[in-house]
Amino acid sequence: MSAIYGTLQHSPTAEENSAPTVLQPTQPEPSVTKPAFNAREKLGAVLRVLIPPLLGIAAFLGIWALIAQETSNLPGPYKTWISAQALFAHPFYNNGPNDQGIGWNILYSLYRVGLGFGIAALVGIPLGFMIGRFKFLAAMTAPIISLLRPVSPLAWLPIGLLVFHRAEPASIWVIFISSIWPMVLNTAVGVRQIPQDYLNVARVLNLSEWKIFSRILFPAVVPHVLTGVRLSIGIAWLVIVAAEMLTGGVGIGFWVWDEWNNLNVAHIIIAIFVVGIVGLLLEQILVLIAKRFSYE
């Protein structure tokens, strides 16, 4: 039982700290004794932080350019860049349902992710709380969760199409069912890991169930919930592209499919970058939220 929930144990503090630890070398101890070196040291520290990622990006572009040269139909970095400039010059044009700007496509995808993920959060987080708090419920749901969790997201699509008869709710359903598990499991683990000390405080103060929830369970579990949310939103964004490829409509996934049919490979590569960047932004927003809620 605990093994199932144990698998997703995340130490949220360690993760949240990962971003700032990378940046720390940029702020060396301000040395008062040798101000002449200060600016220089700072510059050196900045360079030390910037050089490795820049080198990595350069190497990536180089390999990409090399491969593009060898293959006849894969556009290189420069061609892709020109194409992206043209594409992002008018991100929000609208020539009917099958020809809309990249901006609209991204927004539609985000809308579906938001809806599917939002419903998953509304269901998954309270469910996780109850599973964490009541052993009986945990034992009851364990077999079902361990059975359903490893199912590939797209396997849920036919069920969605069957039940909802339309593509739109079906893709939202896929997002929902594939992004709910990390939130359920992390929340449950969080509730179960609340230190006994805090629960003893609750008992000694004889707090009401509502106070226990609002003053002890909820604050103690928020970091875990946010870890679950982050994993979930990552999955949701991962899945939406694949789901839209299958269901069609306006959206970044369908757009990739459409450009494949047009054999516009540069646009496909741009789409890959767009998907990556949007995913990164979603992740960063949640890291920021998580930081706000960490009390240490």
Q: Amino acid identity of 94?
A: N
Report in angstroms how near the CB of residue 219 gets to other proteins at its nearest. Answer: 4
Q: Which position among 111, 164, 198, 260 is part of the footprint of other proteins (CB under 8 A)?
A: 198
Residue among 212 and 271 whose Cβ is closer to other proteins: 212
Residue among 120 and 212 whose Cβ is closer to other proteins: 212
Contacts of 253 (CB under 8 A, 6+ apart): 109, 240, 241, 242, 243, 244, 245
Question: Binding of other proteins at residue 163 (CB under 8 A)?
Answer: no
Closest CA to 230 of 15, 74, 24, 37: 15
Question: Binding of other proteins at residue 205 (CB under 8 A)?
Answer: yes
Contacts of 98 (CB under 8 A, 6+ apart): 258
Question: Binding of other proteins at residue 200 (CB under 8 A)?
Answer: yes
Report in angstroms how near the CB of residue 291 gets to other proteins at its nearest. Answer: 14
Residue among 85 and 206 whose Cβ is closer to other proteins: 206
Give the tokens for residue 46: 């900045």
What's the CA gap between 172 and 124, in Å, rounded? Answer: 15
Closest CA to 129 of 68, 203, 188: 188
For other proteins, the binding residues in 206-245 under the rule CB under 8 A are: 206-208, 211, 215-216, 219-220
Contacts of 277 (CB under 8 A, 6+ apart): none
Tell me, by CB under 8 A, how many residues bind other proteins: 17
**Site residues for other proteins per CB under 8 A:** 197-198, 200-201, 203-208, 211, 215-216, 219-220, 295-296
